[in-house]
Amino acid sequence: MDIRDVTSDDLDAVLDLRQRSFGLVPAAERERWRQAALPALAEGRYLGMFDGPRLVATSRLRPFTQWWHGKPQPLAGVAAVTVSPEDRGKGVGGRLMQATVERAVAFGDAVSALYPATTPLYRSAGYEHAGAQHRVTLPAEALRTIPPSGRVELRRMGPGDAAEVVSVLRRAHGAARASGPVSWDERTWALWLGREDDFLYLAPDGYVVYRWAGPDIEVDNLVAESEETARALWSLVGSASSMAEHVTANVAPDDPVLWLLRERSTEHIKQVRWMFRVLDVAAAVERRGYPAAVAGEAVVEVTDRLRAGNTGRWRLEFSGGAGAATPLGDSGESGAVLSINGLSALYAGIPAATLRRGGLMSGHERYDELLDTVFAAKPYMLDYF
């Protein structure tokens, strides 16, 4: 079997494999799927494993921006990982993921994330559970009672507003010192903003994308930089309460809407877990944001069976909201010992005590408190991919 770039001639086979893995794509959506896939083909972001002419497996790399402590960096979003039913259990997925990691590194990405259908495959490729998409269900009436404060100019938006949405996300996630959320590129946002069944509104410092989901409302994205805009957008969604009983929304773990509600007691929250991987230790540490008030140094020892350049002892230095990782030799001070899975989870804010008790960290504990402080995060995503 060989791995090569998928071409437009392979799209029928890709769609067949996708449907065998994830379920049927409605006929009305197939052309939209093809159009969305074409740029990925041209950029070498769709990989296929072939047994002669037969397509056996696929993976796709989506170009995202991801924020960590409010600082954006490129992210390789791994999606559309499929293996033909008759070829499962033969090591195909492992080979494909190794090639996918290598391709992500070739694109210059230092970190990667995915939503797993199964944990063992991705854990064997160095990914570890890090965060979740938090889906909360609220009474629509509760949102309607959020009173707007001041006057916020809202207007309907469409594909031509893609650049403005990206700009809003950059400002809002940066100001909130958010960790984990992603943004599609402008080209993809233009596709999403062209969906006919969605309702889209834009403010100077926020936006909302929502739709009817049967008798209720589903909020795909609602991002606001200010209290006034958050009130205006949530109240707008709640205005459907004369017809809708519930609103299901993708939110941050500590989303302001949960504090804007007049009443709050029992909440129904579904977590869709995602996994994360550090691809390049030095670049990932340098590109991440950190608490500006914290300074210090730590030594960690990392093992990465797929990326030999990550294996070894590293000195991590933090100061003024910036970080750096410098490779060390074999001698000298010892510190925490982690697989790349453990380092990836640490990077995403999973506490050292959890990692030690979960078998992902060992070695000396002298730097644990500093590592907890600099990497502290509540990682989440609003988007599923």
What per-residue confidence (pLDDT) applies to 126? Answer: 98
What per-residue confidence (pLDDT) applies to 147? Answer: 87
Q: Phi then psi for 108, rounded to 5 degrees?
A: 95, 10
- Are 2-126 and 134-272 the same fold in CATH? yes
What per-residue confidence (pLDDT) applies to 329? Answer: 82
Distance, CA of 368 to CA of 196 (rounded, Å): 50
What per-residue confidence (pLDDT) applies to 365? Answer: 96
What per-residue confidence (pLDDT) applies to 384? Answer: 97
Q: Where are the beta strands (DSSP E) in the chain?
A: 2-5, 46-51, 54-68, 71-83, 111-114, 128-139, 155-156, 182-183, 199-203, 206-213, 216-224, 246-251, 268-278, 296-303, 312-319, 322-328, 336-339, 361-363
- Residue of 336, 279, 286 whose CA lies nearest to 313: 336
Distance, CA of 84 to CA of 379 (rounded, Å): 33
- Domain range list for the chain: 2-126, 134-272, 280-374
pLDDT, averaged per 10 consecutive residues of the chain (385 residues), comes to 96 95 90 90 97 97 98 98 95 97 98 97 98 96 88 96 98 98 96 94 98 97 97 96 96 96 90 98 98 97 97 97 94 90 98 98 97 98 97
What per-residue confidence (pLDDT) applies to 28? Answer: 83
Distance, CA of 249 to CA of 238 (rounded, Å): 12
For residue 341, give every residue at least 6 positions away whose Cβ sits within 8 Å of its Cβ, in sequence order, or none: 123, 126, 127, 128, 277, 360
**Which structure tokens are listed for 265?**
């007691």
In the 3-class helix/strand/coil scheme, how is 347-375 assigned residue by residue?
A: HCCCCHHHHHHCCCEEECCCCHHHHHHHC
Looking at domain 280-374, its CATH class is alpha beta
What per-residue confidence (pLDDT) applies to 132? Answer: 98
Q: Which residue has the tokens 């070829």?
A: 87
DSSP assignment of 179-197 equals: -S-EE--HHHHHHHTT-TT
Residues written for the chain: 385
Domain 2-126 listed as CATH 3.40.630.30: yes
What 3-state DSSP class applies to 261? coil
What CATH homologous superfamily does 134-272 map to?
Answer: Gcn5-related N-acetyltransferase (GNAT) (3.40.630.30)
Q: State which amino acid sits at residue 349.
A: G
What per-residue confidence (pLDDT) applies to 150? Answer: 77
